[in-house]
Amino acid sequence: MKRLHDILSNGRKKVAILIDPDKTRGEAEIEDLLARIKLLNPTFIFVGGSTVSENDLHACLTQIKSKTAIPVVIFPGSRQQINELADGILFLSLLSGRNPDYLISHQVESAHLLKKMEIETISTAYLLIDGGKNSSVAYVSQTSPIPSDQEGIAVKTAIAGEMLGFQCVFMDAGSGAINPVPEKMIKAVKQNIDLPLIVGGGLRTTEAVENAFNAGADLVVIGNKVEEDADFLLDLAGYFSETSKE
């Protein structure tokens, strides 16, 4: 398999579908979701959530890996969310907050285990952006998101992540966000870094996805909307089919 970071950096528009084991109800629902995901054939499947247990993560990964060859990447919410069944993991540091547990402590406690696993780690500068509601990430990490109208703070934080040696930047409005990351903020960040930019949270229409790409996102992450509306995957598949002809 090609290195995941190389795929992330290839300059093409990419989408990841996020599966949160806490929000799926058993194997039958995951299997149904995977059948729908195959219609889109996303670049990645992300797996994780703020409160997912080790057992639930393992069970979800086992089922996904048995049903699809799409690369599976863990999007961890804590140090317990690591598993060698995955192809890779976003090794996150929550740079938008000042809680040392999510800046470095969880990373130190999990690094020695990840070192032994044959999965690719992608060091990720994680920026939580205000999406119009209190997200589970903000609650669990006890940090405040960057205000959605403060492009300067987002830019400075992303630049700091680049200078610290992170491989990519992830701007996230959080699960169930009312508003996505503003296009103006995405554009400002992308213009000031030379790293792949991931954008997620609140992307509920193909127009919102297109706006994120046009503003500079290299990869968009879709979560709640896929679980709520199966037809959205068909809309996305149609969008990517059309853009591939351009």
CATH number, domain of 103, equals 3.20.20.390
The answer to whether residue 246 sits within a structural domain is no
In-domain check, residue 65? yes
Residue 198 β-bridge partners:
170, 219
Report phi then psi at 170, rounded to 5.
-120, 115
Q: Has residue 136 been placed in a domain?
A: yes
Q: What is the pLDDT of residue 217?
A: 98
Structural domain of 103: 4-241
pTM of the shown model: 0.95
For residue 100, tell me if it sits in a domain. Answer: yes
Q: Chain-wide mean pLDDT for the chain? A: 93
9 found inside a domain: yes
What residues are paired with 32 via a beta bridge?
A: none
Q: What is the mean pLDDT of residues 215-240?
A: 86
Say if CB 183 and CB 197 are below 8 A apart: no
Instruction: Tell me whether residue 120 is in a domain.
Output: yes
Are 48 and 86 contacting, i.e. CB atoms less than 8 angstroms apart?
A: no
Let me know: does 212 contact 179? Beta carbons within 8 Å.
no
Residue 228, classed as helix, strand or coil, is helix
In a domain, 174, yes or no: yes
Helix ranges restricted to H, 176-229 = 183-192, 206-215, 224-228
Say if residue 246's pLDDT is above 70. Answer: no
pLDDT above 90 as % of the chain? 76
- Contact between 136 and 20 under an 8 Å Cβ cutoff? The reply is no
> Can you tell me the distance from the alpha carbon of 75 to that of 225, in angstroms, rounded to the nearest whole number?
17
Spell 192-224 as b/e; 16+ CB within 10 A means b.
ebebbbbbbbbbbeeebbebbbebbbbbbbbbb
Cα 65 from Cα 77, distance rounded (Å):
20
d(CA 80, CA 52): 9
> What pLDDT, on the 0 to 100 scale, is given for residue 122?
98
**Nearest partner of 130 among 59, 194, 205, 181, judged by Cα:** 181
Higher pLDDT, 237 or 159: 159
At residue 243 the predicted structure's pLDDT band, cuts being 50, 70 and 90, is: confident
Per-residue pLDDT at 170? 98
Residue pointed to by tokens 């997620």: 200
**Average pLDDT for residues 231-235, to the nearest whole number?**
83
Question: Each residue of 18-31: pLDDT tens digit?
Answer: 999 988 767 888 88
| In-domain check, residue 36 | yes
**Structural domains in the chain (count):** 1
